[in-house]
Amino acid sequence: MRHLTDIPDLTAEEIDELISVACDIIERPDRYSQVCLRKKIATLFYEPSTRTRLSFETAMLDLGGSVIGFSSADNSSVAKGESVADTIKTVSCFADIIAIRHPKEGAAYVAAANSSVPVINAGDGGHSHPTQTLTDLLTIKREMGRLGDLTIGCCGDLKFGRTVHSLISAMSRYSGVRFVLISPEELTIPDYVRCDILDKNHIPYKETRDLETSIPDLDILYMTRVQRERFFNEADYVRLKDTYVLTPEKLAGASDNMRVLHPLPRVNEISVSIDSDPRAAYFRQVRNGKFIRMALIMMLLGLTPGF
């Protein structure tokens, strides 16, 4: 039984294959519209995440399948205190594949260990969110035409931002990748990313506090949200949340080929006036998320278009 609880569950070749299938789906969606006929995905969302849930559900619908599940823990058996293990054992009797979102770290691991059908981690607390990372990789590939020889700026909350850690890890295996890590002192990348990923693989990187002077060198600017829930006191949050806001003035220094990515939802770290700039790729990124999830569902179910 194949599951996806974290990016390391996939080999480099499988990631490349997912990206290439997603690109093919974008080119010829009709070819894939019946692949999951009569298959059901259960989206088990123990905490609301509308964007991610709709992306999974639309992915399954566009493959010709259907959807069951719940969108919050309030009105399900979960509210009566059922364990993740028991819920998964039950749901895997009904569904062909499960996507689980849970506020606790490791919930997807528990789900996978108790499921008789493939489980996809749709985010487990601050831990991992592998389909976001796959979405980011597909977006970089489509926007830049390549995944190597890139200077990638990561800006914002680099300490708690799981999507950034996962992106750095996933991009580190492509040649010629450099990182510019832009964050306040309090939110720099954790040691395990610095030592176990960057230093260990001899990846060049620079840490800086300054977004404006870093922008001209970048091919990709990956913006992240500074999350309120990561702070123990409100004053620290208020002081830091506006530090790294991308404005048209700052973007003016960027190359025409640079692309701005963001896992969304944003608070105010990207000025709305940038949305119409061709360099703003974050809504195209949302669209890519559906296509990579279609490719992933097919891979885990062992299904192909068949003609």
Partner 1 sequence: MIIGNLVNGVVIDHIPAGRAMELYRLLKLDSLQCEIALIKNAASEKHGRKDILKIGQLDGIDFSILGYIDSEITINYIENGVRVRKFHPQLPDTIYDLIKCKNPRCITTTEQELPHVFRLTDPGTRTYRCVYCQTPAGR
Residues that bind partner 1 (CB under 8 A): 83-85, 102-107, 109-110, 124-127
Closest separation in Å from C-beta 284 to partner 1: 31
Identify the CA nearest to 202 among candidates 233, 186, 178.
178
Closest separation in Å from C-beta 127 to partner 1: 6
Tokens of 44: 């088990």
Closest separation in Å from C-beta 288 to partner 1: 27
Which of 127/259 has CB closer to partner 1? 127
Which of 113/252 has CB closer to partner 1? 113
Closest separation in Å from C-beta 114 to partner 1: 10
Distance, CA of 21 to CA of 19 (rounded, Å): 6
Which of 102/259 has CB closer to partner 1? 102
Which of 110/171 has CB closer to partner 1? 110
The answer to whether the beta carbons of residues 224 and 154 sit under 8 Å apart is yes
Crossing angle (nearest 10°) for helices 12-27 and 282-301: 110
Identify the CA nearest to 164 among candidates 186, 193, 195.
193
Closest separation in Å from C-beta 40 to partner 1: 25
Q: Judging by DSSP bridges, how do beta strands 97-102 and 40-45 pair with one another?
A: parallel
Which of 110/221 has CB closer to partner 1? 110
Closest separation in Å from C-beta 80 to partner 1: 14
Which of 62/124 has CB closer to partner 1? 124
The answer to whether the beta carbons of residues 92 and 115 sit under 8 Å apart is yes
Q: What is the dihedral of CA 49, 129, 291, 93, to 10 degrees?
A: -80
Q: Judging by DSSP bridges, how do beta strands 259-261 and 97-102 pair with one another?
A: unpaired
